[in-house]
Structure 1
Amino acid sequence: MRNNAPSKHVRIVLADDHDLVRSGIKALLSMIEGVEVIAEARDGNELIALVDDLDPDIVMTDISMPGMDGIAAIAEIHARKPGTRMLVLSMYDTVDFVKRAVASGACGYLMKDAPPFELEQAVRSVMATGSYFSPAIAQRLLQPSEPTVDDELTNRQVEILKLIAQGRASKEIAYQLGLSPKTVDVHRARIMERLRLNDIASLTLYAVRKGLIKP
């Protein structure tokens, strides 16, 4: 990697639920002069807690994680600490994912299969200009896109859809979200109506395609 020292020491909190992936990214980041991974998280809730405690310069996070996912965590961190730069490092390259991440507060988006030098380029760019989008992502953003999940569903409906797609029953969802089973059933019916889908299998496929759950 290039050895151009940044103007300040860059402190990064890294989030990914796969230990090997996270270790590999951390190793690459440690090769960049002036950059330090100060903490690691396996899910969105842990990430938020670390950011609250450590106030890093950059949050680098995956999107699909158990519990609270990266998009929800980005939105929460942005609300609490709007000055924190957040860079998504993901395997998903659809316009839907990128737009959802940016709308939630992300300032950059990098693919996991990017060459190692691009990781340094992303960190430098985010610190210097406040944003970075890999060439492949930038090109996709210029293409017409289908409606995002946030265009089609409310936040509560997205939350319930994710749990339905994970195989949770109405009673389980109701207990977790503090709702009545009847309310959950009403939401499920409205979700199906909005998406024009008729069964749980179709809802699950939709959730996978939109990156709400892992395949």
Structure 2
Amino acid sequence: MKILLADDHFLVLDGLEVLLSTFEFVEETKRALDYTELKNILKEQFFDVILLDIHFGRHDGREIIQEIKELMPDAKIIALTSHSDSVTIKSSVNAGFDGYLLKIDRREDIEKALMAVTNNEKYFSPKTQQVFFEANTTKNKVELTDREKEILQLIVAEQTTKEIAEQLCLSEKTVETHRGNIMLKLEVRNIAGMVKKAIMQGLVNV
């Protein structure tokens, strides 16, 4: 198994490389300290698994994961983070990660994660499983009406208020009212935040 470690902390990288060297099934490990280096490496070499820090320098792993998958569609990507809150876990799952590990997880958790994802299974370390399942209960789910979902999808598709109003046979003021309600429910302050959170929470098709 060839593994790429994408993290901007030398201490984390050093520790992971030492740990992974003790796994008999790990053939090679390589490190990337920033997103530019990561992309350059992926253009030259194949990896079975990528351990990606969610907060990867100036980049958010949840935002760059799709580009990474385009560069290497057969690789499995495991989120590696110190964040164990439900919002981060859920948004990472919705973004497309194959697994979720905390930097404080045990050796056996990391080993199980690597074996699971390469067998096309999702993996969540025991410390995150309960939080993940709680995050997927209805009490934590943002509830949008069918019309709000429809408008949200069109906003994500970069249509203007006027274009949305014409397509749905609504007034522009009605569209603006729906947009305001969506922003309140998603707890965001602007369109960019609304689009980002909608994608992260899997509320729209992209």
- TM bucket normalised to smaller: 0.5 to 0.7
Report the CA distance between 1:37 and its aligned residue: 4.0
Q: Would you identify which runs of 4 or more consecutive aligned residues in structure 1 move more than 3 Å?
A: 144-147, 193-198
Number of the residue aligned with 1:159:
none
CA contact (8 A) 1:44 1:69 kept: no
1: CA distance, partners of 2:3 / 2:114: 9
Match of 1:120 in 2: 111
1:97 aligns with 2:88: yes
Q: Quick check: 1:15 aligned with 2:6?
A: yes
CA distance in 2, matches of 1:48, 1:99: 25
Correspondence for 2:78: 87
Deviations 1:77-131 (A, max 9, x none): 1233332100111111122222222222210001111112211111111112432
What TM-score, normalized to structure 1?
Answer: 0.61
Shift of 1:197: 7.7
Distance 1:67 1:197 in 2: 21
Between the aligned residues of both structures, percent identity stands at 30
C-alpha distance in 2 between matches for 1:78 and 1:45: 15
Query: Whole-Å Cα distance in 2 between the matches of residues 130 and 52 of structure 1?
Result: 26
Aligned to 2:123: 132
CA distance in 1 between counterparts of 2:16 and 2:29 reads: 13
2-structure distance, mates of 1:42, 1:72:
17
Q: Is the contact between residue 17 and residue 29 of structure 2 (CA under 8 Å) also seen in structure 1?
A: no
Equivalent residues in 2 for 1:131-210 (5 A)?
131-143=122-134, 144=137, 145=140, 194=183
Aligned twin of 1:45: 36
In structure 2, C-alpha distance between the alignment counterparts of 1:46 and 1:105, rounded to whole Å: 21
Deviates more, 1:87-96 or 1:15-24: 87-96
In the TM superposition, 1:1-80 aligns within 5 A as 10-80=1-71
Q: Structure 2: which 5+ residue stretches go unaligned?
A: 143-148, 157-178, 194-199, 201-206
TM-fit CA distance, 1:65: 2.0
